[in-house]
A and B are shown apart, each in its own frame.
Chain A
Amino acid sequence: MRAPAEPAIDTSPSVGDEVKTTTCYMCACRCGIKVWLKGGQIRYIQGNPDHPVNRGVLCAKGSAGIMQHYSPARLDKPLLRVGERGSGEFREIEWDEALDIAASWLRPIRERNPDELAFFTGRDQSQALTGWWAQQFGTVNYAAHGGFCSVNMAAGGLYTLGGSFWEFGEPDWDHTQYLMLWGVAEDHDSNPIKLGLGKLKARGAKIVAVNPVRSGYGAIADEWIGIRPGTDGLFAFALIHELLKADRIDLDYLVRYTNAHWLVVRDPGGPEDGLFARDLDGHPMCAVDSHRFVRADDVDISPRVVGEYTLRDGRTAVPAFHLVAERYLDPQYSPEAVSERCGIPADTIRRIARELAEAAFDRAFTLPVAWTDAWGREHDTMLGRPVSMHAMRGISAHSNGFHTCRALHLLQLLLGAVDSPGSFRYQPPFPKPLPPPNRPGKARQANGVLDAAPLGFVHGPEDLVVDADGGPRRIDHAFSWAYPLSAHGMMHTVIRNAWAGDPYRIDTLMMFMANMSWNSSMNTAQTIAWLTDKDDGGDYRIPRIIYADAYASEMVAYADLVLPDTTYLERFDAISLLDRPISDADGAADAIRHPVLEASKQSPGRDVRGFQSVLIELGARLDLPGLVNEDGSPKYRDYADYIVRHERAPGVGLLAGWRGAHGEVEAKGQPNPEQLQRYIDNGGFWRSEIPEHARYFKMANRGYLDWAQRMGFLGHADPIVLQLYSETLQKFRLAAQGHGATQPPEQHRERVATYFDPIPMWYEPFEGAQVAAGNDFPLSAVTQRPMFMYHAWGSQNAWLRQIATRNWMYLHPETGARYGIGDEDWIDVSSHHGTITVQAKFAANVQPDTVWTWNAIGKRRGAWRLGKDAPEGREGFLLNHLISDITPRGDYANADPVTGQAAWFDLRVRIAKAPVAQASSPQFPSLAMGEADDAPLRYGAQFRKQREDSTQ
């Protein structure tokens, strides 16, 4: 068909010599990829259509994997610091020496006091290993990145629903008719959310975005609600107020699946005030008429949800729902009352409430799926409530985020919209019992091993990790009275506290995959100072820093010993159900990464190792109990070996697929030496479908509960009661009010009593409340994730950095006019903590009292081997310089008082025109970590040449 003059072209060229399937790690979403290799080089990376996470699609970051793998910022060899910390002067050493040094630092610590090692990891996905390793080492000072990330979301959910937003649940993309997105720009479920939004769009379901900024998902939403930061709780309460007022709530759902009808003791001042009324066996009670009380978990009863009841012991009690209705029906939560603070017209609030109810109730539907509930009753159909929600850091990165998150869950519960068809759905292994059973480890056994992994969930004051005086026992103050439910630890406080010796001095700070001297710390400039500060004796106040990174990040310069990791295409990894699973609502799944390229062949002299393997070898050198055999020999060859052979509990290992000697069983079974190969053969992942009848109402679905128990997700198959009212929180409040054996030290009493409200509350975020006095900082300032960049690590990528080589401070033109600022003017942005000078840009798609910028585009000069004059360092900037790590008052970390979650988005600023500048400020001395070759990059020319040579 070619016209005579057309050149002949090859429309069917060979794509590559081989294609390997593995898991992407350009971000934490963990999509399946197919990597095409040609002549030993990467020709193309595509999504794996069979993969449950991304179903073949691939995001911008994933598509730029080639440039990440071949990044000139890759580290090649272990490094030992020779210059001053931060100078970037290192000596290349061999692995043997590196491991010797690390072991020689850590061995005495373990003998002396294991807590002197603080081991903190960032965007890591191997917490199942790292947490366990810390436990073997015996230090309580371990955490992963969740504390500065979104623990409010996790804890808010896990203490309310036994599951959560984040990546632990998802909207019912196939059935929902109404989706509310609260403060979501991207999230970890990057591709699944986009796939889902595409589905909703195709179906014409309504999407509402609640977000001060209308970008990304907000752009395609049917309705954008440009809320003022930090006020979502109020908005949610007003919605609840309206629903209650109009009696548009699902009471049957509430009594069936939640503790709405459980009686709460009303005994102000009494030791059990606010606890559930229980029978002699400890079972919570409910009222079925004015003085008949039965076990709340009885079935086929008609419990009361309101009213005041006199218990047999004479105390009064009210159902939990009564307290809820009482609180939110109060006029202080009417749309009119919250409208101004939230910046949302009262009419809009009323309408949204009505729309939610319409979606949930008037468009209710049934799925023709028969199922059996937890109590053995059979149902022919499943009643659907097609209204769903998803929320992320816009909610959680505030100091009132825990309660706001609970407020959203409360709203969902009132609509009967948790794990009903069409609503928010759990992804296995969730739901978990409430609270999740694993408590933080705090005592060392005789062999030095901690009694449990350092991170967990406290069930009451007795689980706190505090000393005899109630002071913190962890370097980050997690699980202390200041931040009792800090389930993920508090990465953002480690460096300050280690420097200050609060509560004690540590010896070695070991970090992995966390850029803590730059974009992932608050108060960056001072953090840098703490990392390099010396005591009177001339020694660093943080004596030793070991850091594992794959690239020449800002943090590398601050390490004494650098352990170079491989790229994600060169190592084994386990994406484990014990860690952060990749399940979806219809199935459980896990996955691996495996080397598709050989690290040593990527460039001459390159000698890097997967950090997990290094950790295992280091553990063996230290004779850590779980890591050596009886005879002291290393128990595991490397991480791959550990993945296959390590058993957390009998039959339970990191991977659930193809267990048993021949790969014949799932989830539980003896290790299978062929397991990794089975994964590789299956495209790198394993997935097991939940039986159809078990896919909804998982908290009370017999089919699901039994399945989950069989899979090892649940210790028992009892139904999980969702908690409108949190007795756990009340226990802390009671302690603060002077009850019980474990009570907070005086200085924390009022705080604990205030913020451990058993039903969701709202308060002004701390920074706003504490600087409001002079009203000096009238604007909120927030960051957002750019979809095409992953934190710090995207800018070294030749393709991604072209999309955003720098950032601006976006503000509404009206805001500009208000402060005499013109488009693209340079401005001073000041918080109570400091000032930065940056370039402004007008955009009207933002709430006018909010300014914002993309997160982590700004780079320190010299880092990532970018050119010294790269715009990332010149015009790019970090908002972090303005974000203090402590409250304006200086009494606590800039964090949520319940969970310790870093309150990044509480930031309040003022802006003013600055003199025209060439570069943003502050600027720091350029790091000397080498500069990449800046000659034109002609990646791919070699493939064309090969093709043309072969056809000649």
Chain B
Amino acid sequence: MHPAFSVILFTTLSGAGYGLLLWAGGLILLPALQGRAPAHGAVVVLWGMLLVLGLMLTTAGLLSSMLHLGKPMRAWRAFSQWRTSWLSREGVFAVLTAIVVLALLALIGAAMLGHALPSLGMIAPVLAAIMLLLALCTIVSTAMIYASLKPIPAWRHPLVVPVYLVFAVFTGWLVLMTLVNWSVLSDEALGVIVLVTFALALIAGTLKLAYWYRIDRQPLGATRGDAVGLPGREVGVFERPHTQDNYLNREMGFVVARKHARPLRAISLALFALVPAVAAWLAWANPDWAGPVFTLATLLALVGVLVERWLFFAQARHLVTLYY
């Protein structure tokens, strides 16, 4: 599949954004779940920052995804078909998520302006829970856009949804860490951070490796013989319908050779898994560097994810290529 940069950027940024919202939601929910007193002061400001950043990332992602539409002005129509279309669902969930985020931000804003509503402590966790759920749904919907496409076996793979989720959580975590690590953190906190980062890097890396391993061995599920109605016959291309490429070849016919993909996979893996792990370790070993180190690591990891997403497209063979 042709890796449209806008789409890759979209899934990368919005993935990180929703991941961040997930963590933010968790942070807001946590005290309520623990039965602690509602947070206030700096913590609420942090919530606000996380939410704003999450909103920015997801919105930037959405806007960039609109770039690839032929008729962006009509994008609103995409909310209508949630009954059947994962793309539509993604849009609906994204908007709902954004509304809830805005509502939360309004609450927080009000609190910060001193109009601390008594209900903040009660409403915020509820909204956060809803937001958490919606963000999850959005991520799943995004993944399902791909995972529901029968003509692209590599995308139909059961690991696709988990990978999207884990990458969102992981990249969201890294963004969170970038913010958090600019302030002075306790050794204990840094320890937890190292562990969590290690764990997420490991899960993400393992899942992706597993995914790659599987798709490399996964048959396309159909032969050219099946495609032309002659199952069991060996069919080779003699002449294409048109000597120059057309939309299908450009959009669906883009496949990067495995040989070329291998170094890209290594780079991607190093960037999104190894780099954050090393960064976490560095931050733990030398807390003074934590801020810059995490910032750099997150940027690199996002680049790694971009490469991973690029490969997700470039290595996915569409069945229509059987015809060419």
Contacts and interface: CB of A to CB of B under 8 A. Distances in A.
Interface of A: 215, 802-806, 843-845, 871
Q: For the complex of A and B, list the 8 residue pairs with the smallest distance between their C-beta atoms, beginning with the closest.
A: A805-B243, A802-B242, A805-B244, A804-B243, A843-B238, A806-B243, A803-B242, A845-B238
Nearest to B241: A803
Contacts of A215: 238
Contacts of B241: 803
A843 B244 CA distance: 18
Contacts of A843: 238
Contacts of B244: 802, 805, 871
Q: Point out which of B236, B238, B243 has the most chain A C-beta atoms below 10 A from its C-beta.
A: B243
Nearest to B236: A844
Contacts of B242: 802-805
Interface of B: 236, 238, 241-244
Contacts of A871: 243-244
Nearest to A807: B243
Contacts of A805: 242-244
B100 to A, nearest CB: 30
A663 to B, nearest CB: 48
A845 B241 CA distance: 17
A469 to B, nearest CB: 53
Contacts of B236: 844
Contacts of A804: 242-243
B243 A803 contact: yes
10 contacts: A215-B238, A802-B244, A803-B242, A804-B242, A805-B243, A806-B243, A843-B238, A844-B236, A871-B243, A871-B244
B230 to A, nearest CB: 14
Contacts of B238: 215, 843, 845
Nearest to B244: A805
A734 B243 CA distance: 55
Contacts of A845: 238
A765 B227 CA distance: 44
A806 B242 CA distance: 10
A845 B238 CA distance: 9
Nearest to A214: B238
Given A803-B242, A804-B242, 8 more contacts: A802-B242, A802-B244, A804-B243, A806-B243, A843-B238, A845-B238, A871-B243, A871-B244
- Majority secondary structure, B binding face: loop
A66 to B, nearest CB: 18
A902 B244 CA distance: 33
A871 B242 CA distance: 12
A359 B32 CA distance: 93
B224 to A, nearest CB: 15
B244 to A, nearest CB: 5
A78 B310 CA distance: 57
A428 B241 CA distance: 38
A341 B21 CA distance: 79
A383 to B, nearest CB: 41
A851 to B, nearest CB: 15
A871 B241 CA distance: 16
Nearest to A875: B243
Nearest to A857: B243
A594 B183 CA distance: 87
A725 to B, nearest CB: 44
B250 to A, nearest CB: 14
A803 B239 CA distance: 10
Contacts of A803: 241-243
Nearest to B242: A802
Nearest to A5: B80
A803 B241 CA distance: 6
A843 B242 CA distance: 17
A299 to B, nearest CB: 55
Contacts of B243: 803-806, 871
A802 B243 CA distance: 7
B240 to A, nearest CB: 10
A200 to B, nearest CB: 22
A912 B255 CA distance: 31
A507 B125 CA distance: 100
A837 to B, nearest CB: 18
A62 to B, nearest CB: 19
B192 to A, nearest CB: 53
B78 to A, nearest CB: 16
A16 B277 CA distance: 70
A304 B185 CA distance: 120
B212 to A, nearest CB: 29
Nearest to B246: A802
Nearest to A844: B236
A97 B25 CA distance: 87
A622 B241 CA distance: 51
A63 to B, nearest CB: 15
A215 B241 CA distance: 14
A649 to B, nearest CB: 50
Nearest to A854: B239
A802 B249 CA distance: 14
A186 to B, nearest CB: 15
A409 to B, nearest CB: 33
A802 B241 CA distance: 9
A621 B284 CA distance: 103
B85 to A, nearest CB: 14
B9 to A, nearest CB: 27
Nearest to A845: B238
A843 B240 CA distance: 12
A803 B244 CA distance: 8
A808 to B, nearest CB: 9
A609 to B, nearest CB: 36
B77 to A, nearest CB: 13
A805 B238 CA distance: 16
B238 to A, nearest CB: 5
A805 B241 CA distance: 11
A304 B241 CA distance: 58
B12 to A, nearest CB: 32
A896 to B, nearest CB: 32
A804 B243 CA distance: 5
A844 B237 CA distance: 10
A389 to B, nearest CB: 27
A803 B242 CA distance: 4
A803 B236 CA distance: 19
A802 B238 CA distance: 17
A804 B239 CA distance: 10
A845 B236 CA distance: 11
A101 to B, nearest CB: 42
Contacts of A844: 236
A285 B244 CA distance: 66
A844 B238 CA distance: 9
A468 to B, nearest CB: 56
A941 to B, nearest CB: 16
Nearest to A872: B243
B108 to A, nearest CB: 41
A794 to B, nearest CB: 13
A871 B244 CA distance: 9
B74 to A, nearest CB: 14
B45 to A, nearest CB: 48
A634 B241 CA distance: 52
A845 B242 CA distance: 19
A804 B244 CA distance: 8
A803 B243 CA distance: 6
A804 B242 CA distance: 6
A806 B238 CA distance: 15
Nearest to A806: B243
A867 to B, nearest CB: 13
Nearest to B237: A843
Contacts of A802: 242, 244
A34 B242 CA distance: 28
A871 B243 CA distance: 10
B185 to A, nearest CB: 55
A483 B238 CA distance: 40
A843 B236 CA distance: 9
B128 to A, nearest CB: 37
A805 B243 CA distance: 6
